[in-house]
Every structure is written in structure tokens, then in C-alpha cells.
Amino acid sequence: MKAIFFFCPLGIDFKIRTIELDGKKIKLQIWDTAGQERFRTITTAYYRGAMGIMLVYDITNEKSFDNIKNWIRNIEEHASSDVERMILGNKCDMNEKRQVSKEKGEKLAIDYGIKFLETSAKSSINVEEAFFTLARDIMTKLNRKMNDGSSASAGGPVKITENRSKKTSFFRCALL
């Protein structure tokens, strides 16, 4: 279940993971997009089809946290309007270097009405939970839509885009 990217993605990459959620097998196509400015034009092209987006900042890097707002704007501009979002504060294993308090992160999430979790990819803290949470939210939304009458196909693809706003993304910037 865990694959570590030793580098930040070159613009974009994706992995497929199948999880079981409430007794259903769900295939996740998880896109990993680079936060670096130079890849911006590339990555935005992939927002459109995403059903969920994870915004990841680095709790040891305040700037990455400040960037979250920009990312949210970016999403609003390029992603579909009903995309599920989530904010993650990564590297929570490095508490001694923390620059962004958990409260700050939670507040931001509340302001936008988005779920929030602090995670550690390195220590595998909350990573799985984050994905399950997002996947469940997506499924809930899908089911609601289906019940509304539109006869959506039974098992449409679920796409999650993980958006990292880290800048120093080399070495273990992403995991899952």
C-alpha cells in the first residue's frame, strides 16, 4: 500500500490503488501533481476530471501553508465545481520543526468548509485515513447524485488529485 516517491513528480504522475470501502471495491486513481511553479500549466490541465483534491502543505514550512489559499483559488478556477477537497498538513512527525500550528490549519479548513487532517507520510500517520475519508466523501456525493435520478453508471472511476504545495519536494515528497 505504500510506495514512496523519492522525488517530487515531474509535473504529474498517477498511481492506481484499489481499496475496499464499506464492502465495495473502489479503484482510486491518485494523481500526484507537482506544486512547483514551472509545472503549473501542466498540472492544471488535469484538474478537470478530478473528483477529489487533496491540498497538502508542510507544517514545517509556513510558506507552503500560505500557498494553500492560492491553490484553492486555483482549484476553483480549473477544477469542477463540485470537487471534494481536503487539506492536509504533512510532516507532522517533525513536530520540533513545526511552523504551522494544527489550530491554524484547522481554522483555514473550517473557513473553506473543507476537511482537515495532519499527516505524516514518513511515519504513515493518517495517510490512509485521509484517502479513505476523501474517497468516502466522493462516494457519498456520487450516491446522492444517483439517487437524485440521474442514472449514473454503477461504478464510475474515482479520481483523486493530490495537490502538494511543498516547494522542497525532493525526497519523499509524496507517498501513499
Partner 1 sequence: MAAIQALQQWCKKQCEGYKDVHITNMTTSFRDGLAFCAILHRHRPDLINFNALSKENVFENNQLAFQMAEKELGIPALLDAEDMVALKVPDRLSILTYVSQYYNYFHGRSPIGGMSGVKRPSSSPAEEPKEKKVVSEPAVPAPAKPPRIHVPPEPKTNLAPQERNLVKENPPATGRRILVETSNTRSSDCAVCGAHVHLVQRHLVDGKLYHRNCFRCKQCSNTLTSGAYKAGTEPGTLICTRHEEPNHLHVFPSSRDIGGQNKLTGTTSTSGIHLKGLESKKPTQEPLKTNPVLRNSSLAKPWEPSYLGTNKSGSVSTSPITRRTDPVGGKTDRPEAGVAPATSHWTASSAKTQQAREIFFQPGLGSSGLPANKVEPVKNHVSPFKAPEAAGKTSSPGVSAPGVNSGNSEKDRARNILMHALPGPSTPGRRGSPKAQPRLLGVRGSSPTTSGFQRLEPKDVPNVSKPTSGPGSSEKPGQAPPRTAAPNSPKDPRHIVGTAAQNPAKDPPVSRPAEARLKVDVKVSKAGGPGVTEEKSESPADWRSRLKPVGTKFPHQGDARNAPKPAEVHKSVINITPSSAPKETKPAFPKVSLMVQEPAPAADQPQKKRLLVSSLDITSGWQKPRPQGEDAPALRKVEEPGWPKKAIASVQPSAPEPFKKRLSSPAVSPSKLSSDYIPEKEIQKEVQQIERDLDELELKGVDMEKQLRKCEGDDREDALMVEWFKLIHEKQLLLRRESELMYRSRQQKLEEKQWNIETELRNLMNKPESLKTPKDKAQEEELLKSYLAIIDGRNEIVENLDEDRIRELEEDKEMAALIRKLDVSRSNQEGEKKKVKFGLFKLLQLKIKS
- Enumerate binding residues for partner 1 (CB under 8 A): 3, 7, 10-14, 16, 27, 29, 42, 153-157
CB of 42 to partner 1, least distance (A): 6
Enter the C-alpha cell of residue 154. 454503477
Find the shortest distance in angstroms from Cβ 10 to partner 1.
6
The least CB distance from residue 37 to partner 1, in Å, is 14
What grid cell was written down for 160?
A: 483523486
End-to-end CA distance of the chain: 7
Buried b (16+ CB within 10 A) or exposed e, 87-119: bbbbbbbeeeebebeeeebbebbeebebbbbbb
Q: Rounded to the nearest whole angstrom, what is the least distance from the CB of residue 162 to partner 1 in the complex? A: 14
Q: Which of 172, 168, 165 has the alpha carbon at shortest distance from 56? A: 165
CB of 110 to partner 1, least distance (A): 34
Q: Which is nearer to partner 1, 76 or 157 (CB)?
A: 157
23 burial via Cβ count (<10 Å: 0-12, 13-18, 19+): exposed
The DSSP symbol for 89 reads E
133 in Cβ contact with 22 (< 8 Å): no
**Nearest CB to partner 1, comparing residues 15 and 141:** 15
Indicate left, alpha or beta for 130 from its phi (over 0: left) and psi (-120 to 50: alpha). Answer: alpha
